[in-house]
Amino acid sequence: MNPNPNKALWEKGDFTKIADSMRDSGDALVRTLGITKGMDVLDLGCGDGTTALPEARLGANVRGVDIARNLVEAGNRRAKAAGLANLTFQEGDATDLRDLKDRSFDLVVSIFGAMFAPKPFEVAKEMVRVTRPGGRIVMGNWIPNDPTLVAQILRISAAYQPPPPEGFVSPMTWGVESHVLERFGGAGVPKERIAFARDTFTFNFAGSPAEFVAAFRQYYGPTMNAFEAAEKHNRAAELQAELDALFAAKNTSTVKGLTSIPATFLRVTVTV
């Protein structure tokens, strides 16, 4: 058995199949980060490089760090295919970035990445530690109880799963400003250096909403787990129907065979 459930969750399935629907918004987001040639950038919880590749295309020296070995390998394959010698992916855990030196990055980016690591206070400390004074940390975090796609997938899925273990801290708490202030405060950052904004990320999938749900069921670790739990109680069809209805309701595309679903997130900018 894999001793680290956090790692096992993200190595399960194949997140690259979902990430394919996130490339356009990843590109657009990176263009707002003020990246200049030669900047040292850490992309934490980078997956297969939805934001890391565009960062490198802007000329930054980019290190992608992710806990999932299969995603690190996929990222390195994408970097090589794109001819980006200024981008490397490596395995690492946001709660303990022991391979990375203090004050070594101008910009630390974590888009729906570090929020999924346990021990959020350790994560905040590590992100601050590796950032140079005057540098920035930019996080994108899903928002709990938000009416848009991701929070709703989570709400629906949770109803089919056993309650989380005692002491479990939901990743979605990173989408609550008071928690973010407390966590970076614990890492020595005063609240005046932390800014918040609401932003939108759009999933664009080449298929119908039902086919997009099928991709989540087949490839996305958290949804795979929800279906496994639902199957134990013969409730998989019910979960499928709820998710089908959600995805169909949130789809804004009028083109047949193309699904487009916007989702709101909390954008956090920390000046170190």
Ligand X SMILES: C[S@@+](CC[C@H](N)C(=O)[O-])C[C@H]1O[C@@H](n2cnc3c(N)ncnc32)[C@H](O)[C@@H]1O
Residues of this chain that interact with ligand X (CB under 6 A) are: 6, 10, 15, 19, 22, 26, 45-47, 50-51, 66-68, 71, 93-95, 111-113, 116-117
Q: How far is the CB of 72 from ligand X (least distance, A)?
A: 9
Q: How far is the CB of 113 from ligand X (least distance, A)?
A: 4
SS (H, E, C) the chain: CCCCHHHHHHHCECCHHHHHHHHHHHHHHHCCCCCCCCCEEEEECCCCCCCHHHHHHCCCEEEEEECCHHHHHHHHHHHHHCCCCCEEEEECECCECCCCCCCCEEEEEEECCHHHCCCHHHHHHHHHHHEEEEEEEEEEEECCCCCCHHHHHHHHHHCCCCCCCCCCCCHHHHHCHHHHHHHHHHCCCCHHHEEEEEEEEEEEECCCHHHHHHHHHHHEHHHHHHHHHHHHCCCHHHHHHHHHHHHHHHCCCCCCCCEEEEEEEEEEEEEC
Q: How far is the CB of 9 from ligand X (least distance, A)?
A: 8
Residue 64 · residue 72 · CB < 8 Å: yes
Q: How far is the CB of 46 from ligand X (least distance, A)?
A: 5
Q: How far is the CB of 70 from ligand X (least distance, A)?
A: 9
Is the Cβ of residue 15 or residue 160 nearer to ligand X in the bound state?
A: 15
Is the Cβ of residue 14 or residue 244 nearer to ligand X in the bound state?
A: 14
Q: How far is the CB of 23 from ligand X (least distance, A)?
A: 9
Is the Cβ of residue 114 or residue 180 nearer to ligand X in the bound state?
A: 114
Q: How far is the CB of 212 from ligand X (least distance, A)?
A: 15
Is the Cβ of residue 42 or residue 94 nearer to ligand X in the bound state?
A: 94
Is the Cβ of residue 13 or residue 26 nearer to ligand X in the bound state?
A: 26
Give all strands of the β-sheet with 105-111 in edge-to-edge order: 87-91, 61-66, 40-44, 105-111, 131-142, 259-271, 194-205
Is the Cβ of residue 6 or residue 86 nearer to ligand X in the bound state?
A: 6
Is the Cβ of residue 10 or residue 184 nearer to ligand X in the bound state?
A: 10
Closest-by-Cβ residue to ligand X is 47
